[in-house]
Chain A
Amino acid sequence: MDSSIKLLLVLLISFELAFVQSIVVNILVIVLGMSYLLVKKVKLQKLLLLIIIPIIPVASTWSSFYVNGTGDFIHSAWLLSSRIYAYIILGGIFSFTTSINDLLSSLEQNWHVPSKFVYGTLGAFNFAPRVRNSMLQIKTAALMRGEVLHVWSPQIFFKAILLSLRWSDNLSRAMQSHGYAENNVRTHYRKQRIPAWNWVLFITIFGVFQFIVLKKLP
C-alpha cells in the first residue's frame, strides 16, 4: 500500500478511536494490527519492544483510573489502557512498514506537497546521524580547552545552534548547486502512483471499521 494512503488511514482510525468507548474495538485494532505486522515480517524483537516499552504508562493509566476513577471506573481503566496499546500498534504499522523516502516522494508526487518541504525534510533526515557525533565532538573540543561542558551548559546549546545554522546554510547551498530551486518544474525518475486498488482497500478497511464501531460493542 502506498505510504501516504497508509498514513491517512492510520490517522483517520486513530482520530476516531479517541471517541470510541469500546474495549472490544481497541482489542480488535491491536490484534489485527499485530497480525499485519507479523505478515509484513517485522522483526520479533521490535514487536516485543513495542509491547514492553509502554508497560509503565499503560499500568499507571490503569491504576490511576482504578484508584481514583468514579462511575464505571473499571471499564474506563481497561478502555484507556487498551487504547494506548491500539495507538502504539497503529504507530508501529506506519513506522515499521514505510520508509521516509517513499512517504515524502508520494506526498510530493500525489498530494502536491511543496518540494521545498519534501527535500528540506529529506536533507535533515540525512543529517541526523551526524548530530550525536557532533555533540560528543563539541564536548571533547571544549574539554581540550580546559572547560567541562555539561548537558545544561548554555555554551553547548550555543555551539549546537551555531552548528545547525551552518548545516542549514550548507544544505541549501548544496541543493542549489545541484540545480534545485523552489519553483522549478521537476521530473520524477521513480513514479509513485497510487494504484486504484489502494483506494478500494482504503475504503473497504475504513468502511468495515465504521460498521464495527456502529455495532456499539462493549
Chain B
Amino acid sequence: MDKLAINDLTFSYTKDSDPVLDNLNLTIKNNTFNLLFGSSGSGKSTLMQIITGLVRTNLPNLGSGTILINGQSIETWTPKQFVQEVALLFQNPREQFSMSSVEDEFVFTLENIGMLPSKIDSSIRSALERVKMLDFRNRDIDGLSGGELQKISLAITLAMDSNFIILDEPFANVDSSSRKELILLLKELQIQDGKTILIADHDLSGYDHVYDNIFHLYHHQIAALPHPEKTLAYFQSDKDEFHFQIPAENQPGVLHFADFSLDAGSKVLLDQIQLEIPTGYRILLTGDNGTGKSTLFNAISHLHPYKGVLTYKNKEVQKYKTTKLSKEVSLIFQDAQIQFLKMTVSEEIELSLKHARFSEIWSPEFITKNLSLLNLIGFENHIVYQLSGGQKKKLQILEMLMLGNPLVLMDEPLAGLDIESVIQVLDMIKKVCELQKQSLIMISHQLVGTKNFFNYHLELKDKNLYFSERLDDGLFD
C-alpha cells in the first residue's frame, strides 16, 4: 500500500494570495527513502506541515484536494492520531522542544499520546539506545548541539512509534560530520525498522547511495527529477577542488591578534592566538560546530569579552566606543529578520542609504541593478517580514553591504539558500566588496558554489586559529 497519496492538493495561506501549492500530486511507497528537493521559498515546509497536520487544508477557501496516509484521509485526524502515524522533525531542532530537559520532553510527549506510565521509562530508554544517546537522558536542552538535538528528536519519533518520518531541512543547524551520521541512521531506520522517510533538503550532498526517489518541488507542483544522478553529482563537492593560498607576510592588516584568548563559560575556545589578518580580502572561516566561530565574531563586535590583544586598524577593539565600532565593523546576523527596522523593502533600502559610507556609489540605477541580481525586483513595497527566508537573507546582505563598513563579518549567510541564490549573492558580495574596498570574513558550512570566491581560508581547530591551504577532512567526508 502507499504510505502517502496526495491528489490535486491546492493551498494558499490567505483567500486572496497566490497558491503556494497548485494541483500537486505525490505518492510515496511504504518503506522507502525519499528526498524532496526544491529552492528556498518553494513551499517545501508548507507541504510538510500540511502532511503532518500543523497546517490544515480543510479550512474554507484555503485548500482543496485529498491527502491519504495508509489509505486513510487525514482530514479529521486529531494531533494525537497524526503523531502516531507521521512525525515531523523541524528545521531548527531548538524550536521543537517545549520542556527544558531531554527526559521531560520525552515524558511530555508520551503522556500526550496516552502511554501507560509503567511503560514510559522503558520506552524512553530503548528509543535513546536506538540512536546511541542513552547518556543524554538527564541533560538540559540548552547545552546540546544542533546534531545532538536532531538525534533526540528522532528518538522521540521512535518512542511515539510513528512509522513515517518527515524531516524539514533537518541539517540546516548541523555540522557536516553529524549530517553524514544522521543520514546513515535514517537509512538504518528505513531498512531495519521499516520506517518510511521523507527529507526536504535544498542541498543534495551525501545522499548518493541512500535514496529511492527524488521529488522536485517546482512552480507549486511536484515532478520526479529527470536526471537525479546529474543533480546529485553537482552537489558532491570534492574537497581537493578547494585550495587556498597562505597570505604573504608584511601586508597591511585589518585585524591583529596577540596572545588572544576567548572562552565561553568554563570552556576555552581560543588559546593564545597570534595572527595578522590582511586587509582587503574575502576570507572563509571554517571549524566544527561549537568551536567558537560565532563567539569570535561576537568578540570582534563587542558582544563577547576576550583576553589579550585584538586590534582593529591598530587600535584595541575594546577601546572603541560601541557606536564608533559599529561604523567600522558590520556583523551580519544569522537571523536576517532581527536586523530589519522598517516595514517595506524600499524603506529598508532608504535607511541603509542614509548611513552609507560611499553613498555616491549607491545611485538608484546601481540599487536597482543589485535588486534585480537578487530577484528582488517587484518586491519593493512588500512587507519585509512576509518575504521568504531566502529573500530576507538576500535583502539583509544587500542592506548591510550598502553601509560600506571596512570590515564585514558574515555568519552562515548561505545556509538555507538554494544554489541559484548562492551564486547571485556571492556575485553581488564580490563586486560590492571590491568597489568599496571592504574586507570580508565569512563563516560557512555550505561551500557548494563558492569555488574561486574566497582568497584565503582561516581554520579554527583545537583552540587555535590559523590560515590553512586545505579544508579540513571532516567538512566533506
Contacts and interface: CB of A to CB of B under 8 A. Distances in A.
Contacts of A189: 107, 110-111, 117, 120-121
A142 B341 contact: yes
Given A178-B156, A180-B108, A189-B111, A144 B331 contact: yes
A159 interface: yes
Contacts of A174: 90, 95-98
B78 interface: yes
Contact of B114 (A137, A144, A159, A184): A184
Contact of B351 (A137, A141, A147, A190): A147
A218 interface: no
B301 interface: yes
Contacts of A140: 301-303, 331
29 contacts: A126-B98, A137-B333, A140-B331, A142-B341, A143-B322, A143-B326, A144-B333, A144-B339, A145-B341, A145-B352, A145-B399, A145-B403, A146-B327, A146-B403, A170-B95, A173-B90, A176-B53, A176-B79, A178-B160, A179-B79, A180-B79, A180-B112, A181-B80, A186-B112, A187-B111, A187-B114, A187-B120, A189-B120, A191-B117
B267 interface: no
Given A141-B338, A186-B112, 7 more contacts: A129-B142, A140-B331, A145-B341, A145-B403, A179-B84, A181-B80, A187-B116
Contacts of A146: 326-327, 351-352, 354-355, 403
A178 B112 contact: yes
A185 B400 contact: no
- In this complex, the member of A146, A173, A181 whose beta carbon has the largest number of chain B beta carbons within 10 angstroms is A146
Contact of A179 (B160, B326, B337, B341): B160
Interface residues of A, number: 39
A171 interface: yes
A93 to B, nearest CB: 25
A162 B83 CA distance: 29
A152 to B, nearest CB: 16
A119 interface: yes
Nearest to A147: B341
Contact of A178 (B98, B301, B337): B98
Interface residues of B, number: 58
B25 to A, nearest CB: 25
B274 interface: no
Contacts of B114: 184-187
Interface string B251-292: 000000000000000000000000000000000000000000
A144 B303 contact: no
A43 interface: no
Interface string B107-147: 11111111111001100000000000000000000100000
Interface string A126-148: 10010000001110111111111
A184 B114 CA distance: 8
Contacts of A177: 52, 54, 83, 87-88, 90, 96
